[in-house]
Structure 1
Amino acid sequence: MKHPVAKSVGWALVHAARLHRTRVGERLNGLGLFPGQEQVLQALVGGKTLTMGELASLLRVKPPTASKTIARLAAQGLVQRATEPGDARIVVVRLTDEGARRAASIDNLWNEVEDDLLRGFDNKDRKRLRKLLRKAARNLAGSSSDEGESLDEDPDTDDIEEAPAIASVG
């Protein structure tokens, strides 16, 4: 039996997003992580040190949510927290060596799921889909939203029509 709105774009998007999140979640579980924790690890890659406020803003969550996530990751030895010299009210977070190793595994996991998601799409279709999804997100976020602004940062500056058709992730 088909859902009453099965022909809607929104329904297809929600369905694909749920399947994607489930696939990513299953693989994250294999790394001992929960969905959402990978975003923190990836935000700190490359020796970055961020404050709790910066992390919350980057992840688009409230500070208590970021703090809870950091506490769980610290308990696993993946991040370390420290107070800012000169202002003990400011907590900064950075990856541990194990956190950096786990973050590298996340990149591989994400690429594998991306390959599954876009199997059969040529490079032109991949770029078009990315641009259309960003446009839809901007529409929903509204033009004055920070989310809408960050969605304008499109790494695909070349023209879609001129992109070569290749099978790898673009």
Structure 2
Amino acid sequence: MDNDIKHPGIKSVGWALVQASRLHRSRTGDKLSELGLFAGQEQVLQALSTSGPMTMGELAAILRVRPPTASKTVSRLSALKLVERHTEPGDARVVRVKLTKEGKRKAAAIDALWAEVEAELLQDFDNKDRKRLRKLLRRAAKNLAGLTGADQTGFETEADDEADAEGLESNEPELAATA
């Protein structure tokens, strides 16, 4: 491709976001394949690692996907022995999902992988730029969530803003160094 050719959406924020997202997804996908996982599966493992056992509905809500999508991913992860499903005592209609021991090990590896990819993504960004970008992306996501009927919670929280302020004051890097 000729370097003089420019995409017609080059000045579009949305176009830049899509390109960055695709490249991030590709890089993450490459790293996940080394763990025997596909893109999207890591989010289920991370959610369960952070929040503990949850119902399919809770999992779908936290991932902002439809319950059948969450169920399909959980089925695949169950076949890999990374998660277990158990019916709720007293109400067999409610199924809770939790990590297995191997799932917990994979989740820890995923955390390291995400930190590595994020460090690569933001290598030329100082802490102020990282904070600003994170806040702007959360605001943009919240705007679209409101228009699409998706859950708008969790995009901007005081705890994140306080942690950001502490990171800026101490001038500590926000991410683990790449291995």
TM-score by length of 1: 0.89
2:155 is the alignment partner of 1:168: no
Q: Which runs of 5+ in 2 are unaligned?
A: none
Structure-1 residue corresponding to 2:88: 84
- The aligned counterpart of 2:161 is 156
Deviation for aligned residue 1:152: 2.1
Residue 150 of structure 1: how far off its partner (Å): 1.9
- The one of 2, 6, 13 equivalent to 2:6 is 2
- The equivalent position to 1:116 in structure 2, one of 109, 120, 124, is 120
| Paired residues of 1:81 and 1:91 also in contact (CA < 8 A) | yes
Residues 66-124 of structure 1: CA deviation (Å, up to 9, x unaligned): 11111100100000111111111111111000000000000000000000000111111
Paired residue secondary structure (1:80): strand
Aligned residue pair count: 169
Query: CA–CA distance in 1 between the matches of 2:147 and 2:164?
Result: 24
Per-residue deviation at 1:157?
A: 2.8
Paired residues for 1:43-54 under 5 Å: 43-45=47-49, 48-54=52-58
Could you list the runs of 5+ residues in structure 1 that have no partner in the other structure? none
Q: CA deviation at 1:148?
A: 2.6
The change in CA–CA distance for 1:16 and 1:47 in structure 2 (over 3 A counts) is closer
Deviation beyond 6 Å, 4+ runs, structure 1: none
Which segment drifts farther, 150-159 or 18-27?
A: 150-159
The TM-score, its normalising length taken from structure 2, stands at 0.85
